Amino acid sequence: MIVIAAILMAALAATPVDAQKAPGPPQGQAAATVAAESSPSTAGAQADADAQEKPKKEKKPTPPAVHEELVVTATRYELDSFQTPVPISVVSSDDLARQQPEKMVDVLKQLPGVDVFGEGPFRGLPVIRGMDSNRVLILVDGQRLNNARESTEFAGIQPGLVDLSMVDRIEVVRGPSSVLYGSDAIGGVINIITKQQAFHQDVFKLGGAVGYEYGDAARSNREHAEVNGAANRTTFHIGASAFEAKDYSSPDGVVPNSGMKQRSFDGNLRLLVSETGVLRFDVQATQTRDVGFPGYDPKTSGVDIAFPRFDRNKYAVTYDAGPFAGLNGLSVTTYYQTVVKESKRNFSFGPTFFLNNFTRSDIDSWGLNAQSSADFTSQHVTFGLDFYQDSLHDRTTESSPFGSDNDVAVPDSDQRGYGLYAQDEITLSPRFQLAVGVRGDRYTFVSKDDPHYQGSPFDVSQTAGSGNVSARYQVANHVALTALVGRGFRAPNIQERSFFGLATTGDTYIQQNPNIKSETSLNYELGFKVRYARYSGGFNVYQNNVNDFIGLAFLGTDPETGLQLAQFENTERATIRGAEFQLESYLSDSWTAFGNVTFIRGTDDKTGDPLPLIAPVKGVLGVRYQRAMWWSELDTRMVARQDRVATGYEQTPGFAIVDVRGGYEFSMGLRVQAEVENIGNVAYHEPFNVRLEPGRNVRLSVGYKF
């Protein structure tokens, strides 16, 4: 495997440059083109929207070349990724179509700096640069998926609440981004951009797609269908999907309690209401049932942990006014989101002792984002405001041999966040750009009168300031040096401030602590980006200093129950250092090679101990062969042995997983695809998990576009 890696890297480095592409426009110029076609949260989806509707025709393959890659998450407006100093990766619609991932983190863990925590087809939390859960901000079309009810210890924001059939592309910003997005963006930002159509200037255009996917490791099935329409003043998209997975098979046998079911629906309508003004309506609904906790067979283990229900509904309205009054445009979005989460935790210890807990959490969120920008002689200024509110309501039933009660761990409460931000991008010369950003946030956490909550009421407010400075120097037409200093922060949410009760693990009783402070970080980063006609890539090295890290501090053992007593506290100062490298190269008109390498090391500054969730060295290498009608791809993800682990974590062996896939597109719009994941049937688990991942998994899919 090392020899293969060396050969591929040598091939990447030696690729000849037989054509060149001029760099993209200066920062700020792209913003003026966004308003008529999309909002800042979804502009990056435009380039692929029309191309997806028509079936591919038989044609001669054209010589491949690296094109500009428009992103919106790095700067909150549309900009070529080569023009921003921010490290960002994109999972395009073509990537999703080729890989056909069973869950979202399956494609995210192929990216540099991104790992995964959690097992099964639903549970999977992205870990970016050693930060997980609420330390990574997840957006859907630029709006928060994060909420105040999920903690950083036992749960987290599940990307699985967004069905893959809704997704057009995913943008991943690595590193603190609080100056633009506020709380939670310490590790990075993941923006899941859903499908939409571009306006069509000729006759009304109607299209759609149907598809079916099957995977044998979990006997999983996904069916989806969508209908799209576009005219010169109206577009619409309607989609629906159903997914079901049984308990999956690892090389050591079936992993019990690892299945799930999910149904989803999404739709949007866009109206050109003036010469440049666009009004967009969005509806998204996902219903998830019977999500198990992998590895515990309720019939034999005495442990039955599951999410019987995990639903998400969202409604959003966006208005893009277009250029006016000297501004490049004004975009205003308001959204309302509901999450219903039912959790079941039943423990049986012998014939007479049991502890059963059922909790339903209702999280109602609504938010408002407003943003504009303006260009001056050599400056592009982006400014805006964000507001969100999460309202929580829990209902609990708990029973044991000692009786039953309805005490809740989290009271009825509200969490609100207000933020104002501005970022000035200054062109000092044709080759040198400097960006300075500032942000101020205020958060309030207020509990309501809840007779079922045994903790104390609270009314807490906190403020936070963020800033960053970044620079980009284009040393040549195709090479740019980058530097970045940025502050991130995370306000502890209501779950961490108020939790009073038994943890999910069943062996720890958590006590309330409403006065914990926000986590903060200061990130220093250097790097470079290259983009030639035949290859592109980049390298980053960084150090992230994190203060007031929030974790569970154990207080001892309760002599009456034997349970561990704990409390969320600001426990650590930590330093995380790392390096990331990625490169993609067109070796010929048909062959493409790609790869990335990630190194990260995290240390508790007080004790010198390793931090949890710091992954070992990871490398991804692959080759793709592309013809006009068919393609094939082979890739391997190599993860080194994990010898340096935090207290309570086990060392993990290294592994190398090889996947092979290929597909054929018929001229009438029919597509067939086959894939073998983990072709060597390797027994392995991800560095932060304890259950084995699926063994050899044969996946088949068929789709039709019209």
Give the CATH superfamily of 2-189+201-632+642-705. Answer: TonB-dependent receptor, beta-barrel domain (2.40.170.20)
471: pLDDT strictly greater than 50: yes
Confidence class of residue 400 from pLDDT cuts 50, 70 and 90? confident
The type of residue at 105 is V
* Buried residues in 51-80 as b, exposed as e (16+ CB within 10 A): ebbebeeeeeeeebebebbbbbbbbbbbbb
The rounded percent of the chain whose pLDDT value lies above 70 is 90
Could you tell me the pTM of the whole model?
Answer: 0.90
> Would you report the helix, strand and coil content of the chain in percent, each value rounded to 5?
10, 55, 35
Task: Give whole-number Cα distances, 67 to 24, 37, 245, in Å.
Answer: 10, 20, 38
Confidence of residue 62 (pLDDT cuts 50, 70, 90): low
| Model pLDDT for residues 330-342, shown as the tens digit of each residue | 999 999 999 999 9
pLDDT for the residue 285: 98
Q: pLDDT tens-digit profile of 442-457?
A: 999 999 989 999 899 9
Q: What is the per-residue pLDDT for 403?
A: 86
The first and second tokens of residue 132, run together, are 């997980």
Q: What is the pLDDT of residues 657-706, one digit of tens each?
A: 999 999 999 988 999 999 999 999 999 999 988 899 999 999 999 999 99
CB atoms within 10 A of CB 354: 14
Q: What is the pLDDT of residues 323-380, one digit of tens each?
A: 988 999 999 999 999 999 999 989 887 778 888 999 999 999 999 999 999 999 999 9
- What does the mean pLDDT of the chain come to? 88
Tell me what pLDDT residue 540 has: 98
pLDDT bin (cut points 50, 70, 90) of residue 35 is very low
Q: How do residues 151-207 score in pLDDT, each as one tens digit?
A: 765 567 889 999 999 999 999 999 999 999 999 999 999 999 999 999 988 889 999
Q: What is the pLDDT of residue 120?
A: 87
Residue 564: its pLDDT value, please?
Answer: 87
Has residue 47 got a pLDDT over 70?
no
pLDDT confidence of residue 14:
40
Separation of alpha carbons 662 and 177, rounded Å = 37
Above 60 in pLDDT, residue 61?
Answer: no
Model confidence pLDDT, tens digit, residues 97-124: 999 999 999 999 999 999 998 888 888 8
475-503 residue pLDDT tens: 999 999 999 999 999 999 888 899 988 77
**CB 637 within 8 Å of CB 654:** no
Report how far apart the first and last C-alpha atoms of the chain are (Å, whole number): 43
Given this model, what pLDDT does residue 553 score? 84
Find out whether 506 and 197 touch, Cβ atoms under 8 Å: no
CB 217 within 8 A of CB 248: yes
**Token code pair at residue 545:** 């200093």
What's the pLDDT band for 301 if we cut at 50, 70, 90? confident
Per-domain boundaries in the chain: 2-189+201-632+642-705
Alpha-carbon distance 371 to 180, whole Å? 11
Going by the DSSP 8-state scheme, the letter that residue 676 receives in this structure is E
∠ Cα 300 303 307 (to 5°):
120
